[in-house]
Amino acid sequence: MSRRAIIAGAGIGGLAAALALSRARFDVTLYESAEALEEFGAGLQLTPNATHVLSDLGVLDRVESFALRTRAIIAIRGSDDAVLMRMPINGAVGRGDTPYLTIHRADLQRALAEAARRQPNVKLCFGSTVAEIETNGDRISVGVKQGATTIHDSADLLIGADGLRSRVRERFRFGKADRLAFVGCVAFRATADSARVDSGWTRPEVCLRLGSRAHLVHYPMRGGSILNLVAVIESTWHSADDDHPWDGEADRPTLDRAFSRWSKATRDLLAATSHWRAWPLYCRPPIASFSIGRIALLGDAAHPMVPFLAQGAAQAIEDAGVLGRVFSQIQSIPDGLVTYSRVRVGRMARIQIEAKKHGRTYHLNGPMSFARDASMRLLGAGRLSSRYDWLYGA
Ligand SMILES: Cc1cc2nc3c(=O)[nH]c(=O)nc-3n(C[C@H](O)[C@H](O)[C@H](O)COP(=O)(O)OP(=O)(O)OC[C@H]3O[C@@H](n4cnc5c(N)ncnc54)[C@H](O)[C@@H]3O)c2cc1C
Quick check: 20 and 57 in contact, CB under 8 A? yes
Atom of ligand 1 nearest to the CA of 45: 8
Q: Position 224: which residue type?
A: G
Quick check: 308 and 355 in contact, CB under 8 A? yes
pLDDT in tens, 297-317: 999 999 999 999 999 999 999
Distance 10 CA to ligand 1 centre (A): 9
Cα–Cα distance for residue pair 291/289, rounded to 1 Å: 6
pLDDT value at position 380?
A: 80
- Rg for the chain (alpha carbons), in Å? 21
Quick check: 9 and 320 in contact, CB under 8 A? no
Quick check: 104 and 190 in contact, CB under 8 A? no
pLDDT of 217 > 60? The answer is: yes
pLDDT value at position 118?
A: 97
Cα–Cα distance for residue pair 319/231, rounded to 1 Å: 28
Distance 93 CA to ligand 1 centre (A): 25
Angle at 181 between CA 319 and CA 42, to 5 degrees: 55
State whether the beta carbon of 305 lies less than 6 angstroms from ligand 1. Answer: no
Which is more confidently placed, 40 or 332?
332
Window from 129-138, 164-173, 175-184, 374-383 with minimum mean pLDDT: 175-184
User: What single-letter DSSP state applies at residue 89?
Assistant: -
Residue 305 C-alpha from the chain's centroid: 8
pLDDT in tens, 316-327: 999 999 999 999
Which amino acid residue places its CA nearest to atom 53 of ligand 1?
Answer: 307
State whether the beta carbon of 313 lies less than 6 angstroms from ligand 1. Answer: yes
Cα–Cα distance for residue pair 360/280, rounded to 1 Å: 16
Distance 108 CA to ligand 1 centre (A): 12
pLDDT of 2 > 90? The answer is: no
Residue 26 C-alpha from the chain's centroid: 25
pLDDT band at 90 (very low <50, low <70, confident <90, very high): low
Cα–Cα distance for residue pair 184/176, rounded to 1 Å: 22
Phi, psi dihedrals of residue 351, rounded to the nearest 5°: -70, -40
Distance 300 CA to ligand 1 centre (A): 6
Distance 9 CA to ligand 1 centre (A): 9
Distance 315 CA to ligand 1 centre (A): 11
In the chain, which residue ranges form alpha helices assigned H by DSSP? 12-23, 48-56, 60-66, 105-118, 167-171, 252-258, 264-271, 312-329, 333-362, 367-386, 389-392
Domains of the chain in sequence order: 3-40+107-178+285-358 (3.50.50.60)
Atom of ligand 1 nearest to the CA of 34: 47
pLDDT of 16 > 80? The answer is: yes
User: What single-letter DSSP state applies at residue 176?
Assistant: S
Q: Which of 30, 33, 35 to mutate to test the pocket of ligand 1 (most atoms within 8 A of CB)?
A: 33
Distance 351 CA to ligand 1 centre (A): 16
State whether the beta carbon of 304 lies less than 6 angstroms from ligand 1. Answer: no
State whether the beta carbon of 282 lies less than 6 angstroms from ligand 1. Answer: no
Quick one: average pLDDT of 106-128? 97
State whether the beta carbon of 359 lies less than 6 angstroms from ligand 1. Answer: no
Distance 366 CA to ligand 1 centre (A): 35
Atom of ligand 1 nearest to the CA of 16: 25
Cα–Cα distance for residue pair 41/366, rounded to 1 Å: 35
State whether the beta carbon of 319 lies less than 6 angstroms from ligand 1. Answer: no
pLDDT value at position 143?
A: 98
Dump the DSSP string for 101-163: EEEEHHHHHHHHHHHHHH-TTEEEESS-EEEEEEEETTEEEEEEEETTEEEEEEESEEEE---
Which of 113, 143, 94 has its CA nearest to residue 18?
113
State whether the beta carbon of 219 lies less than 6 angstroms from ligand 1. Answer: no
pLDDT in tens, 228-283: 999 999 988 766 555 545 556 677 889 999 999 999 999 999 999 988 988 899 99
Cα–Cα distance for residue pair 286/207, rounded to 1 Å: 29
Quick one: average pLDDT of 331-350? 97
